[in-house]
A and B are shown apart, each in its own frame.
Chain A
Amino acid sequence: MTKPHTIGKRVLRLEDGPLIRGRGRFVDDLKFAGMLEASFVRSPHAHAAVRHIDTDAARRLPGVHAVFTCADLAPALTQERLPLQFRTDQLPADCAPPVLAKDEVAYVGEPIAVVIAQSRAVAEDAAGLVAIDYEPLAAISDCRVALRPDAPLAHRAKPSNLLIEFRQSYGDIAAAFGPAPHHARVNLKQHRGGAHSIEGRGAVAVYDLNEDRLTLWSSTQLAHEVRAFLMRLLRLDENQIRVVAPDVGGGFGAKFVLYPEEVALAVACLRLRRPVKWIEDRREHFLAAVQERDQYWDLEVSFDDEGRLLGLRGELIHDQGAYTPQGINLPYNASTGVTGPYIVPAYDLRVRVVETNKVATMPVRGAGYPEAAFAMERVLDRIAGALHLDRAQVRRRNLVPAEKMPYVTPLKTRAGSPVALDSGDFPRCLAMALEAIDYAGFAERQRAAWVKGRYLGIGIGNGVKGTGRGPFESGIVRIGRSGHISVYTGAMPMGQGIKTALAQICAEQFGVTADNVTVVAGDTAVIPHGQGGFASRQTITAGSAVHLAALAVREKVLSVAAHLLETGVEDLELHDGRVEVVGAPGSGLTLRQVAEAVSGVPGYAMPGKFEPGLESLQSFLPNSLTYGMGCHAVEVEVDIETGGIRILHYVVVNDSGRLINPMIVEGQLVGGTVHGIGNSLFEWMGYDDSAQPLTTTFADYLLVTATEVPNIEVHFLECPSPLNPLGVKGVGESGCVPAAGAIVAAIEDALSPFGVTISEYPVTPARLFGLIAAARS
Chain B
Amino acid sequence: MKLPPFEYACPTSISEAVALLASHGGDAKPLAGGQSLVPMLAFRVASPSLLVDLRKLAELRQIRITDNGVTLGAMVRWREILDDARLRTAHPLLVAAVEHVAHYQIRNRGTVGGSMAHADPAAEMPGIAVTCEAQIAVVGKSGARVIEAAAFFQGPLMTALRADEIITEIRLPQWPAKRRFGFQEFARRRGDFAMAAAAVFYDEDAGKLARNAHVGAIGVADRPLRLNAVEAVLDDNTIDDSIIAKAEAAASAAVDPADDIHSSGAYRKALIGVMVERALKGAASIG
Contact = CB atoms under 8 A, between A and B. Distances in A.
A694 B186 contact: no
Contact of A124 (B2, B188, B263, B274): B2
A705 B267 CA distance: 24
A121 B267 contact: no
Interface string B259-271: 0011110110011
A272 B1 CA distance: 25
B143 interface: no
A282 B1 contact: yes
B274 A641 contact: yes
A191 to B, nearest CB: 14
B5 interface: yes
A766 B262 contact: yes
Most chain B beta carbons < 10 A, residue from A281, A697, A764, A765? A765
B4 interface: yes
Contact of A121 (B3, B186, B262, B266): B3
Interface in B52-89: none
Interface string A341-373: 000000000000000000000000000000000
B189 A766 contact: no
A627 interface: no
Contact of A707 (B1, B5, B189, B262): B189
Contact of B189 (A282, A697, A702): A702
Contacts of A671: none
B263 A766 contact: yes
Contact of B261 (A644, A686, A769, A770): A686
B261 A707 contact: no
A765 B186 contact: yes
A770 B264 CA distance: 9
B248 to A, nearest CB: 10
A769 B195 CA distance: 13
A695 B261 contact: yes
Interface string B173-199: 000000000000010111111010000
Contacts of A128: 44
Nearest to A123: B2
B8 interface: no
B255 to A, nearest CB: 16
Contact of A125 (B5, B266, B267): B5
Interface string A692-718: 001101011010110110000000000
A311 to B, nearest CB: 39
Interface string A550-588: 000000000000000000000000000000000000000
Interface in B225-265: 261-264
Given A694-B261, A700-B262, A707-B190, A769 B267 contact: yes
Interface string B1-32: 11111000000000000000000000000000
Contact of A764 (B186, B262, B270): B262
B274 A642 contact: yes
A534 interface: no
Interface residues on B, range: 20 to 34
Instruction: Specify the main secondary structure of chain A where it touches its partner.
Output: loop
Interface string A625-661: 0000000000000000111100000000000000000
A120 interface: yes
Contacts of B191: 707
A217 interface: no
B43 A705 contact: no
A558 B190 CA distance: 60
A762 B5 CA distance: 40
A283 interface: yes
A694 B195 CA distance: 18
Most chain B beta carbons < 10 A, residue from A128, A643, A686? A643
Interface in A260-284: 281-283
B2 A643 contact: no
Interface in A178-228: none
A523 to B, nearest CB: 30
A644 B264 contact: no
A682 interface: yes
A201 to B, nearest CB: 14
Interface string A677-691: 000001000100000
A705 B191 CA distance: 10
A125 B4 contact: yes
A642 B194 CA distance: 12
B188 A121 contact: no
B219 to A, nearest CB: 13
A693 to B, nearest CB: 11
B188 A765 contact: yes
Given A125-B4, A695-B261, A765-B195, A283 B43 contact: yes
Contacts of B43: 283, 697
A262 B161 CA distance: 47
A708 B3 CA distance: 32
Given A642-B271, A643-B267, A766-B267, A120 B2 contact: yes
Contacts of A699: 192-193
B1 A770 contact: no
Contacts of B5: 121, 125
A700 B261 contact: yes
Interface in A105-131: 119-121, 124-125, 128
13 contacts: A119-B2, A121-B2, A121-B5, A124-B1, A125-B5, A281-B1, A642-B186, A682-B188, A695-B261, A708-B190, A764-B262, A765-B195, A766-B195
Q: Which 9 A-B pairs have the closest CB atoms?
A: A766-B263, A281-B1, A121-B2, A707-B190, A766-B267, A641-B274, A694-B261, A124-B2, A769-B267
Interface of A: 119-121, 124-125, 128, 281-283, 641-644, 682, 686, 694-695, 697, 699-700, 702, 704-705, 707-708, 764-766, 769-770, 773
Interface of B: 1-5, 43-44, 186, 188-193, 195, 261-264, 266-267, 270-271, 274
